[in-house]
């Protein structure tokens, strides 16, 4: 039995798994869920999630796909500890591994060209963009305090096998930069989907897939709308959650 620390709670993922979260620190959001729905993992593939936080993406991908093994890399000790305890709580030790470490040193930790798929829900804001949250865990999760977009993309490219796939969720206002950095590190953008809170609002997220060493050609998928009306998910979102809500 896993004991919860003060301020922690158990979140029911509605798929047979539970996640330990902290009420005061950064908790996973819909962006992580959408990333797990957008990423394609084939049977027998090895997957690494960078900036894994409390491990939500590896656990969701374990539930959704037939991948062989899922690894999460997280620099913050407290988040990594919660992720490790969530893995134990769900009896996933043979399928999911959490490693505490720095994204900037990922290829030193794991080696080069070892993963079929790399995913990431990175900090969206540059270090000088807006007010950095006074709580350090949230600041690290939201702002490029400990790693940059280039750190994430360069390491993903190094970690991926030839023709391996990179999946990331980010903000549309950085899309031009994202495309440029991905191509700089030989991750050819192959698939993209914009996420809109409502059908008549501007997009707030972008999901993107890159192929290591792939040929130039990108598919732009139909827009993903989150809400039919306030508080009511669209059918597409309900299918991604897979819990009938």
pLDDT tens for 193-215 read: 999 999 999 999 999 999 999 99
Asked, for residue 205, whether it belongs to a domain, the answer is yes
DSSP state of 29: -
pLDDT in tens, 141-170: 454 456 899 999 999 999 999 999 999 999
| Joined tokens for residue 146 | 């400990």
Q: Is residue 2 part of a domain?
A: no
Identify the residue with better confidence: 2 or 138: 2
Residue 156 near residue 167 (C-beta atoms within 8 A): no
Give dist(CA 89, CA 85) in Å, integer. 6
* Cβ-contact 148, 174 below 8 angstroms: no
- What is d(CA 5, CA 34) in angstroms, rounded to the nearest whole number? 28
Asked if 61 and 39 count as a contact pair (C-beta separation under 8 A), the reply is yes
Confidence of residue 5 (pLDDT cuts 50, 70, 90): confident
Is pLDDT above 80 for 128?
Answer: no
Is residue 137 domain-resident?
A: yes
- In which domain, by residue range, is 200 found? 8-241
Q: Is residue 3 part of a domain?
A: no
- How many independent structural domains does the chain possess? 1
| Across 10-28, average pLDDT | 87
Of residues 127 and 31, more confidently modeled:
31
In this structure, what CATH number is given to the domain that contains residue 191?
Answer: 3.40.50.150
Residue 1 lies in a domain: no
Q: Is residue 237 part of a domain?
A: yes
């Amino acid at each position: 039995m896993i004991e919860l620390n003060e301020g922690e709670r158990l979140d029911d993922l509605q798929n047979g798994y539970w996640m330990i979260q902290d009420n005061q620190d950064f908790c996973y959001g819909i962006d992580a869920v959408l990333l797990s729905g957008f990423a394609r993992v084939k049977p027998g593939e090895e997957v690494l999630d960078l900036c894994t936080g409390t491990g939500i993406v590896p656990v969701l991908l374990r539930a959704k796909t037939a991948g062989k093994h899922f690894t999460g890399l997280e620099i913050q000790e407290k988040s990594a500890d919660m992720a490790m305890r969530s893995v134990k709580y769900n009896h996933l030790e043979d399928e999911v591994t959490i490693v505490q470490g720095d994204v900037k040193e990922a290829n030193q930790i794991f080696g080069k060209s070892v993963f079929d798929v790399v995913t990431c829900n990175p900090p969206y804001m540059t270090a000088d963009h807006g007010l950095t949250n006074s709580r350090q865990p949230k600041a690290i999760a939201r702002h490029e305090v400990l790693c940059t977009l280039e750190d994430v993309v360069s390491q993903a490219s190094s970690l991926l096998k030839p023709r391996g796939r990179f999946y990331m969720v980010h903000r549309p206002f950085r899309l031009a930069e994202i495309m440029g950095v991905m191509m700089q590190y030989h991750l050819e953008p192959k698939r993209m989907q914009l996420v809109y809170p409502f059908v008549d609002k501007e997009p707030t997220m972008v999901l993107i897939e890159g192929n290591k060493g792939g040929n130039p050609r990108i598919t732009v998928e139909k827009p993903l709308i989150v809400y039919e009306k306030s508080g009511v998910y669209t059918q597409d979102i309900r299918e991604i959650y897979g819990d009938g809500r």
